[in-house]
Amino acid sequence: MALTPEEKFDQAVAWLADADALLITAGAGMGVDSGLPAFRGRRGLWKDYPALKHLNMDFARISTEVAMRKAPCLAWGFQAICCSAFARRRHTTDTGSCCAGRGG
């Protein structure tokens, strides 16, 4: 017998209540739709970080555990650039309206 929508909701609530943790992910398209800079592409975020551009290194290589161990200043510097870009976007977004990435 199929569950009603209410029963499905109650089941989901019970699963969440019993969970040790909750991980929510979204694809890159949602961030871009929200106005965050893309990592890849012609104007990708990684190309704006001079140290990576100079080394011809992309974001995938610098965002690994290996890079964090072998070149921590470079890897964490890139992470700081990312956080800075996201923070700038957050502070310049009109909080009165939803962006496309949030469905509104």
* Structural domain total, the chain: 1
Asked if the structure places residue 3 within a domain, the reply is: no
Q: What is the pLDDT of residue 102?
A: 47
Q: Which two tokens stand for residue 40?
A: 């890849």
Range of the domain at 79: 29-102
C-alpha torsion sign, points 44, 46, 48, 53: negative
The whole-number pLDDT of residue 103 equals 47
Question: Which pLDDT does position 104 carry in this prediction?
Answer: 42
Phi, psi (rounded to 5 degrees) for 83 = -60, -40
In a domain, 15, yes or no: no
**Within a domain: 97:** yes
- Model confidence at 9, pLDDT cuts 50, 70, 90, reads very high
Distances, alpha carbon 52 to alpha carbons 40, 41, 66, 76, in Å: 13, 14, 16, 12
pLDDT for 15: 95
Q: What is the pLDDT of residues 38-62, one digit of tens each?
A: 666 555 665 667 777 778 777 778 8
Tell me the Ramachandran region of residue 78: left when phi exceeds 0, alpha when psi lies from -120 to 50, beta otherwise. Answer: alpha
User: Is residue 54 in a domain?
Assistant: yes
The H or E element containing residue 74 is helix 72-92
